[in-house]
Amino acid sequence: MNDGPFDVIISTDRTLMSNHHGKEFLGFMTTSPPIAVPERLWMAIAAPKVNVDKLGRPLEAPYGLRKIEAALVDAGIRAAVIDPDHLKRHLKVAKVLAIGHHDYFALGPPSSEWWVLTGKEPVNSKSFRNFIQKPEIRSAKRKGLKIIVGGPAAWQWLWMPDSFEKWGIDTIVEGEADKLVVKLVEDAFSGKPLPIYVRAGLGDSPRLEEIPLIRHASVNGLVEIMRGCPRGCKFCSVNLKPLRCYTLDMIEKELQVNASEGVRRCLLHAEDVLLYGADGIKPRPEPLMSLHNMVKKYFSDVCWSHVSLSAIKYAEESSSLITHLSELLLPRESDMLGVEVGIETGSVRLARRLMPSKAAPYSIESWPEVVRDAFAIMHEAKIIPAATIIIGFPEESSEDVMRTIELVEDLREFRSLIVPMYFVPLGALKNKEWYRAQPSEEQMELMKVCLMHDITWINRISNWYLSDMSPLAKILLRSVIFFLRKIAEWYNLIEKGNS
Amino acid sequence: MASRGLFIRINSLKNGNPSKERLDTITNLINGYDQVIINSDDKNVHKMFEILRQITFRNVTAALSLYFGKVTCPEGYDSAVVDL
């Protein structure tokens, strides 16, 4: 391992430079303002500091930052991911600071939703502001440091020109940066002018063999198995990326990196894990069983980032694949697996307009049935979906919201969490009072129905999810859950004692 | 197939929002290319970011770069001058 000095420092603020106690889902707490506990305690629960080596390099770092690090090091550039608390000595010599983030300004869901509902700024944007204003970054900037910002939330800078200028950002990179970042850094080194903004086109997306493989451990053992998504939903930018499936060999190399650096779990990441090696949008048993058998050689604790509900239904109905995967991944009675899924809407009308391929290979007209069937399959297979619903699409009518309420009520018997994401139209951001835009009566009702669903299940799910956490963390988290239940009871959202 | 490049020089950046016609013009120009470099001598970040937002909302798939001066049309690129 190169022990420096480093010409390029890659970093981000604490809300992302954390392993969230090994619980990826706790990371979502950073999208909210603190609830019931002081901010410092909230951050300690949601985003504790990571262990670092003697140079301040985190032992686990966000996967996206690890990819950028790998791309630069592969190109012969001295680069390293550095923890935000250890930047000072490195920025005295570095020429470039590369920053990635999921939600720089808390404008994306669910941060914007929390902001709307509470009127309080979420901790992620506050944490980023504290990061970018660090004296060591300001001092290095005055001495000529180039600052490049990217990641999934890069688009937010286009809405924040004042912050862009105030903090001396040199370049915004939007889209896949694996290839672009090398050229930008080389241009910075040679004194060539940097673009203010770069957006990757299709030609900038690396071909499969050009995708760099991480050189050091990722947070919670996250390993990418695919890029892109074939479903083409209108509200999602992922479908703009070409679809690429990693080879088993590529995946195994990254698993080995994580295992050799002491990570004890694996999170397989794709927009739809079940489409790994698929026949179009139809999951195939062979590649998925091969993948999971290989992963189990390295890790007993395996989970998925995202799956689609239609793939769950098709995989089980065509080949009992979900049952087989559950038997492989969850051998003990107490084992469970959490995964994010997208319901988005219960309205067939809206689904047809915004996500016409979401139900494929089933017809979009059967979307509510696909959702119900997939939830039933996952319940049996001990897979716990954390499902998103999007509220407030510009095309949404009261009738659409009512259909979604009906669907959520139908799902009450299935072990799951349902999270409404409040869609904040970006046009509203021009208005500085945008966060005061309040949901409609029906939208509030839907949020209540989701809250009732979650409160029904949260104790049972948290018993499993928190089982291997420290007693202190368990007490803190149970206190937050208890407080939320009391709020719900106070507002008559649930009956007293409902569990 | 070789990728096609376009170099756009923003000739003048007027006050107020760019009209739909002008945005349509620049979007149609961009859509014929794989790589587009936009160069504006006027370093108005607010204005240029607003234009970029408008362009990127229109499902432009070309690779886009924005510079504030200092760059010239690369060899092999077509060039255009637009008012916004």
| Higher pLDDT among residues A162 and A434, named by residue | A162
Judging contacts by C-beta atoms under 8 Å, the chain B residues touching residue A198 are 63-66
CB contact under 8 A, A202 and B71: no
Instruction: Measure in Å the smallest separation between the Cα of B14 and chain A Cα atoms.
Output: 18
Judging contacts by C-beta atoms under 8 Å, the chain B residues touching residue A193 are 67, 69-71
Residue A466: its pLDDT value, please?
78
- B50 three-state secondary structure: helix
Q: What is the per-residue pLDDT across A374-411, written as a single tens digit (0 to 9) for each?
A: 999 999 999 999 999 988 887 889 999 999 999 999 99
A444 contacts: CB under 8 Å, gap ≥ 6? none
CB contact under 8 A, B63 and A195: no
Instruction: Measure in Å the smallest separation between the Cα of A431 and chain B Cα atoms.
Output: 14
Nearest-angstrom CA–CA distance, A354 and A389 = 13
Interface test with A, best of B42, B65, B68, B72 (most A CBs within 10 A): B65
Least confident among A28-42, A351-365, A485-499: A485-499
Q: How many CB atoms neighbour CB A53 within 10 A?
A: 13
Nearest-angstrom CA–CA distance, A169 and A237 = 24
Average pLDDT score, chain A: 91
For residue A203, give the nearest of B63, B66, B68 by CB distance: B63
Asked if B65 has any chain A CB less than 8 Å from its own CB, the reply is yes
Asked if B77 has any chain A CB less than 8 Å from its own CB, the reply is no
A165: closest chain B residue by CA: B45
A371-to-A348, A357, A443 alpha-carbon distances in Å: 12, 14, 20
Least confident among A96-100, A298-302, A459-463, B76-80: A459-463
Least confident among A48-62, A321-335, B59-73: B59-73
Judging contacts by C-beta atoms under 8 Å, the chain B residues touching residue A157 are 49
CB contact under 8 A, A158 and B64: no
The region that residue A434 occupies, defined by phi over 0 for left and psi between -120 and 50 for alpha, beta otherwise, is alpha
Phi, psi (rounded to 5 degrees) for A457: -105, -15
Write the DSSP string, A453-489: HHHHHHHHHHHHHTTTS-HHHHHHHHHHHHHHHHHHH
Nearest-angstrom CA–CA distance, A229 and B13 = 38
The distance of Cα A38 from the centroid of its chain, to the nearest Å, equals 25
- pLDDT over threshold 70, residue A430: no
| Higher pLDDT among residues A290 and B60, named by residue | A290
Judging contacts by C-beta atoms under 8 Å, the chain A residues touching residue B52 are 158, 197
A176: closest chain B residue by CA: B63
CB contact under 8 A, B64 and A198: yes
Instruction: Measure in Å the smallest separation between the Cα of A181 and chain B Cα atoms.
Output: 13
Residue A434: its pLDDT value, please?
47
CB contact under 8 A, B34 and A161: no
Write the DSSP string, A224-284: E-EE--SS--TT-SGGGSPPEE--HHHHHHHHHHHHHTT--EEEEE-SSGGGTT-BTTB--
Q: How many CB atoms neighbour CB A471 within 10 A?
A: 7
Asked if B48 has any chain A CB less than 8 Å from its own CB, the reply is yes
- pLDDT over threshold 80, residue A10: yes
- pLDDT over threshold 90, residue A220: yes
Task: Identify whether the C-beta of residue A15 lies closer than 8 Å to the C-beta of residue A127.
Answer: yes
- Taking residues A256-272, what's their average pLDDT? 96
For residue B68, give the nearest of A157, A159, A196 by CB distance: A196
Asked if B41 has any chain A CB less than 8 Å from its own CB, the reply is no
Does the model's pTM come out above 0.80? Answer: yes
Asked if B62 has any chain A CB less than 8 Å from its own CB, the reply is yes
CB contact under 8 A, B65 and A198: yes
Q: How many CA atoms lie within 13 A of A311 on its CB side?
A: 24
Judging contacts by C-beta atoms under 8 Å, the chain B residues touching residue A197 are 49, 52, 64-66
Instruction: Measure in Å the smallest separation between the Cα of A112 and chain B Cα atoms.
Output: 19
B52: closest chain A residue by CA: A158
Among candidate residues A253, A385, A420, the one with its CA nearest the CA of residue A306: A385
Write the DSSP string, A285-297: HHHHHHHHHHHHH
For residue A201, give the nearest of B62, B66, B70 by CB distance: B62
For residue A202, give the nearest of B61, B68, B70 by CB distance: B61
Write the DSSP string, A114-152: HHHHHSS--HHHHHHHHHHT-HHHHHHHHTT-EEEEEST
Q: What is the per-residue pLDDT across A134-172, written as a single tens digit (0 to 9) for each?
A: 999 999 999 999 999 999 999 999 999 999 999 999 999
Nearest-angstrom CA–CA distance, A60 and A101 = 16
Nearest-angstrom CA–CA distance, A278 and A245 = 9
CB contact under 8 A, B3 and A161: no
Could you give the percent of chain B with pLDDT greater than 90?
A: 37
Q: What is the per-residue pLDDT across A35-89, written as a single tens digit (0 to 9) for each?
A: 878 899 899 989 999 999 999 999 999 999 999 999 999 999 999 999 999 999 9
Nearest-angstrom CA–CA distance, A354 and A188 = 41
The confidence band for A495, taking pLDDT boundaries of 50, 70 and 90, is low
Least confident among A65-69, A431-435, A448-452: A431-435
- Taking residues A475-489, what's their average pLDDT? 75
The distance of Cα A269 from the centroid of its chain, to the nearest Å, equals 10
Nearest-angstrom CA–CA distance, A362 and A348 = 13
CB contact under 8 A, A200 and B62: no
